[in-house]
Amino acid sequence: MNVAIIGSGGIGMRHLQAIAQISGSVRIYVVDVSPESLERARSAYEEVPHTCVDSISFLKRISDMPRSIDVAIVATSSMPRRQAVEELLNYCSVSYLVLEKILFPQITDYFEMAELFDRKAVKVWVNCPRRMSGFYENLRSIFDNEVIERFTVTGTGWGLACNGIHFIDLMAFLLRDYENFQFDPSALDEGHAENKRRGYIEFNGTLNGSSRRCPVISIACGKGDVSPVSAKLEGPNIVCEIEESTGTVRIMRSDSNWKPEVRKFSLLYQSQLSGTLALQLMDTGTCSLTSYDESAKLHIPILNAFLQHLNKDNKEKERITVCPIT
């Protein structure tokens, strides 16, 4: 199996560590323009067992890879991602493609890249990995016959722009809901904050919205040090509170007089997931992650709201169309 990892920064290294521990023959190609990133990736690779790796190559150019790749993971930041994906698909055939989020910083990218994926006949998923959790897979069954009236996320310093899509994706997964998402940026804090990654920005405040199955969505991130993030789904017959920091979910049901049912769970790290993902793709031709088409339905409304927020105080003549979040 040929596996390519494009972008060997923080998340790319974790993908690499997981692929290195795969229980099967694998040839790995790691590509990054930065020699420093490649060297850090090499060190990360050496930290984990890699007995089934036939070969590993650390490359500066996609054109140094073979012409056929089974599984490609594009883990660059969002701004250069489109260019990296186009270069990859124009150079070699890729059977299965996994993209990191935020997918792209510009609305038009989503439609134009969908056309490229169709032309190249490549199957594409987006790495929102909570879907790979058996716990969340089991949890979603309790919402099948329930009307959810409100979904809320609260915390401080957790990166609403960068990580908000993970919680929207989790809600979409639990409720099997991808339609009519809309978001209102009017309760976001004025302006924007700097992201820890150079050239990118963050937002604080509250992003309000709605979807087909959930009339009230509230995603809040306060200023300050990082505090645990909690998520809650509320319906007339069920309330579900999720705290990933403690691995605790509380389920309250009206037919049990709202007595909390407490369950414990744990989530695997990315360095424990990507190998399973690659094998799942090769064995079945599909995987547990969000398909590109479904994820685009979640990304585009969020990106529209952020762009609306940026343009609210924009003094330039030209409208801002690129939102530098990652």
**CATH code: domain of residue 149:** 3.30.360.10
Both 116 and 172 in one domain: the answer is no
Asked if residue 104 is part of any domain, the answer here is yes
Q: Give the residue among 48, 57, 47 at the shortest CA–CA distance from 26.
A: 57
pLDDT of 164 > 80? The answer is: yes
- Please tell me whether residues 107 and 162 are part of one structural domain: no
318 within some domain = no
pLDDT at residue number 116: 98
Say yes or no: 260 and 140 in one domain.
yes
Enter the pTM of the model: 0.96
218 and 196, same domain (yes or no): yes
pLDDT in tens, 36-52: 999 999 999 999 999 99
Count CA atoms closer than 13 A to 273's CA, side-chain side.
21
Residue 317 has pLDDT above 80, yes or no: no
* Alpha carbons 195 and 204: distance in angstroms, whole number: 11
Pair 116, 27 in one domain? yes
Residue 320 lies in a domain: no
294 belongs to a structural domain: no
- Judge if 119 and 173 occupy the same domain: no
Q: What confidence tier does 184 reach under pLDDT thresholds 50, 70, 90?
A: very high
Across 134-143, 178-187, 189-198, 225-234, least confident range: 189-198
Are 104 and 211 found together in one domain? Answer: no
Same domain? 279 vs 223: no
Q: Domain containing 284: what range?
A: 2-129+272-288
pLDDT band at 194 (very low <50, low <70, confident <90, very high): confident
- Residue 315: inside a domain: no
Mutual angle of helices 81-91 and 107-120, in 10-degree steps: 10
CATH of residue 21:
3.40.50.720
pLDDT at 46: 97
Percent of the chain with pLDDT over 90: 95
Question: Which of 213, 232, 266 lies at the terminal end of a domain, its last residue?
Answer: 266
pLDDT digits (tens, 9 = 90+) for 94-115: 999 999 999 999 999 999 999 9
pLDDT of residue 196: 83
Complete edge-to-edge strand list for the sheet that includes strand 248-253: 182-184, 205-210, 216-221, 150-154, 230-234, 238-243, 248-253, 261-264
Separation of alpha carbons 232 and 250, rounded Å: 9
Same domain, 76 and 186: no
Say if residue 106 is in the same domain as residue 16: yes
Per residue, the 3-state secondary structure of the chain, as one string, reads CEEEEECCCHHHHHHHHHHHCCCCCEEEEEECCCHHHHHHHHHHHHCCCCCCEEEEEEECCHHHCCCEEEEEEECCCCCCHHHHHHHHHHHCEEEEEEECCCCCCCHHHHHHHHHHHHHHCCEEEECCHHHHCHHHHHHHHHHCCCCCCEEEEECECCCHHHHHHHHHHHHHHHHCCCCCCEEEHHHECCCCEECCCCCCEECCEEEEEECCCCCEEEEEEECCCCCCCEEEEECCCEEEEEECCCCEEEEEEHHHCCCCEEEECCCCCHHHCHHHHHHHHHHHCCCCCEEHHHHHHHHHHHHHHHHHHHHHCCCCCCCCCCCCCC
- Mean pLDDT lowest among 191-195, 216-220, 314-318: 314-318
What is the structure's pLDDT at 197? Answer: 86
- 312 in a structural domain: no
Answer yes or no: do 122 and 196 share one domain.
Answer: no
User: Stretch 245-251: mean pLDDT, rounded?
Assistant: 97
162: pLDDT strictly greater than 80: yes
Domain count, the chain: 2
Report residue 297: phi and psi, to 5°.
Answer: -65, -25
Do residues 212 and 254 share a domain? yes
Mean pLDDT for the stretch of residues 56-82 = 98
| Whether the predicted pLDDT of 24 surpasses 90 | no
Domain assignment present for residue 58? The answer is yes
In a domain, 304, yes or no: no
- Residue 198 is predicted with a pLDDT of 87
